[in-house]
Chain A
Amino acid sequence: MTNVNILEANHVSKSYAAHKALDDVSITIPKQSIFGLLGPNGAGKTTLIRIINQIIMADQGEILINGEKLNPRHIEIIGYLPEERGLYKKMKVGEQLMYLAQLKGLSNSEAKKRIKHWLNKLGLYEWAGKKVEDLSKGMAQKIQFIATVMHEPDLLILDEPFSGFDPVNANLIKDEIFELREKGATVIFSTHRMESVEQLCDDIAMINKSQKILDGTKKEIKNAYKSHKYQVDYKGALGPLSSQFSVLDTTTLEDDYAQAVIQTEKGQNPNELLSELITKTEVHGFMEIIPSINDIFITIVEEGKS
């Protein structure tokens, strides 16, 4: 069976008492992609993730993993790093990882091998016999990451993965995540800090107030929300442009250099602007202004309000 999507959520809803946490949310996550589940705090991201992890159950809708209805066997192919995470403080690192690995269905000998591999890889091997309370925060974070990935899950769900990680560890983890993806894993990033994962994600879904407000590939979304503005760096004066272009803003830089933001009409070829600019000034830089995911999110939320 060749299923291109590792996960499909169809019309998932969930309510807590009076509060609706998820309202008819559908998402599709292609295999071996890095998927960004974005939205502000309290939007419903964690609820959706908990449903995928079978910690809670959806009131309505269904979740398919590899085309198969979500069931307890799927626990073993998911690795979950929750936003609220920790370790048993009084337990030794090695024993703790062994316990968590066995809970995910690994055999004793296999778990031993992988624990050794991962501890070596992240430079923590000599800490295996130490209690977690003796570890630094950064080390504990690495241990948590190992616990999430050591059973080689097909689907890796990371809820606010970089909150609390120092920049060095955050980079290390990013590299590991890419490596896992190369080996075939699919990664879901859930975060409210959209700029932190923007460059990582291939696909994105945005959730706001329990509803999905946007999804698609990062490229598609950015294209759809492009505002056809260009940033031009030039030297000297900029002569008046023809009426299809309007200069929105100019900034003077040092040494006679300046920068302008120019609005074009939709569907216009940037070459037209560039060829006109060449006749009017000395062009040093030319770049299309692409909105950030964060900008797009804010735009959509603002639109929704008005």
Chain B
Amino acid sequence: MKQTFLVLKREYLTRVKKKSFLIATLLIPLLFPALIFGIIYLGSRESGDIKELHVLDESGYFTDKFTDDSYSYKFVEGTKDEAIARVQEEGVYGLLHIPELDLADTSTTRYDNIGFYSETNPGPQVQGRFEGAIRKVLEDVKLEKSGLNAQVIESLKARVSLNTFNFSDSGEAKESDSGLSFAVGYVFGFLIYMFIFIYGSQIMQSVLDEKTSRIVEVIVSSVRPFQLMMGKVLGVGSVGFTQLLIWVALMVTLTTVGFNVLGPSSEMMASGMSPEAMELTGTEEQVLEVKNMLGTIPVTKIVISFLFYFIGAYLLYGALYAAVGSAVDSLQDAQQFMLPIMLPIIISIIALMMVIQDPHSNMAVWLSMIPFTSPIVMMGRLPFGVPTWQLIVSMVLLIGGFIGTIWVAGRIYRIGILMYGVKVNWKTLKIWFTMKV
């Protein structure tokens, strides 16, 4: 125990005392928002660029009917071939060609001879936008042809936005906000994903360094290999945890200071709102709105679960990274063993995107149970509300999972660290695993 702590302390201090740790810890919280704003900025500039589009409308229904201001529409005359040639010549974005359409024929509702011609494939989003715009115009024309006037048509339309509610434990229905749940789920899931990658590979590097610097045999003459491995995993993990705490503290301070400078009433602070929420707001009204929304997701449950899954995922994968580091002599050799470790992590992050769209699907439930994927996937599901029994099963499985991987990793580690210049493959690992010490 004491030995493990000494190893932990060394791993922790040598990392935290490094300048690069300080820089990374301070820069990442600044870098991420900057990156996100940068992408949004680029994105907005892109769509802000109004592209010129030629429309060859042989049906005559569409004149001045397009209202989308992302494009400037120029209605052209002539044949299709001429129009295409002109588009190419003038460097225009594309040509929308609408041939004669027989809207009087009520036996068909399909119009599939409309064409879009451009140098590059416009992508599904743009394609969908045109399809929608054209459909709307055609529907209006057809409705008018059936004898309804424009006013009636307008009054016949319906616009719906769905409000979502969750049952609380007291049976009361509370209004929920899917958008916020979506964001919270994604951010927490992504944090776990990021930490596994960054700190997992640090463990591997650390094990490898001890092996290549040949100090490991000196160390294991004082410390059991398992203690050494655990000290390492926990030490590097503590660094990650410290980083996380600093970020939270930084956010709290920055927003508090920001608030005091910007000047909203101090009652707001006293009302116990989460400071992250405040950061998003400019005015008191918005603050209240965010506060209400936050009330709809189980904040305490999410934070506690996040800490649990964060630690669980880290232990589970950290041990595996340590085992890989012990088995090989160089980072290049580690590649072959990295894929099977990274695969479930990558599957988790891909699944997370789908899970936050449909948090109660079969796939979401299963992936939030399997220990290798549960930490990331469960974080995606939690803001939407997860039955308590599912959460408990998932947590118990994760505990079993990391005990299992630590056990397996420990058996490979104790042999691997003393093996130099051995050609290691999966068979070797299996032999080491079954070997008695």
Contact = CB atoms under 8 A, between A and B. Distances in A.
Contacts of A147: 218
A80 B14 contact: no
Given A91-B14, A102-B6, A55 B418 contact: yes
Nearest to A15: B436
Contact of A99 (B6, B210, B220, B225): B6
B38 to A, nearest CB: 35
Interface residues of B, number: 24
Interface residues of A, number: 30
B436 A57 contact: yes
Q: Which of A80, A89, A90, A103 has the most CB of B within 10 A?
A: A103
A85 to B, nearest CB: 6
A103 B14 contact: no
B213 interface: yes
Interface string B219-231: 1111101000000
Contacts of B220: 53, 55
Q: Which of B7, B14, B218 has the most CB of A within 10 A?
A: B218
B221 A75 contact: yes
A85 B214 contact: yes
Contacts of A17: 431, 435
Contacts of A81: 218
Interface string A28-71: 00000000000000000000001001111101000000000000
A85 B218 contact: yes
A27 interface: no
B437 interface: yes
A187 to B, nearest CB: 16
Contacts of A87: 213, 215
A78 interface: yes
A276 to B, nearest CB: 58
Nearest to A76: B222
B100 interface: no
A130 B245 CA distance: 32
Interface of B is mostly: helix
B129 interface: no
B239 to A, nearest CB: 15
A87 B210 CA distance: 8
A169 to B, nearest CB: 18
Given A55-B221, A75-B221, A88 B431 contact: no
Interface in A1-31: 16-17
A184 interface: no
A268 B190 CA distance: 89
A84 interface: yes
B214 to A, nearest CB: 3
A84 B217 contact: yes
A82 B217 contact: yes
B436 A59 contact: yes
Contacts of A50: 418
B6 A85 contact: no
A236 interface: no
Contact of B221 (A57, A59, A80): A80
Given A17-B431, A82-B221, A57 B213 contact: no
A210 B305 CA distance: 55
Nearest to B432: A17
A261 interface: no
A291 to B, nearest CB: 34
Interface of A: 16-17, 50, 53-57, 59, 75, 78, 80-82, 84-91, 99-100, 102-104, 144, 147-148
10 A-B pairs with the lowest CB-CB distances in the bound complex, closest first = A86-B214, A82-B217, A103-B222, A80-B221, A86-B213, A53-B221, A86-B215, A84-B214, A56-B437, A55-B220
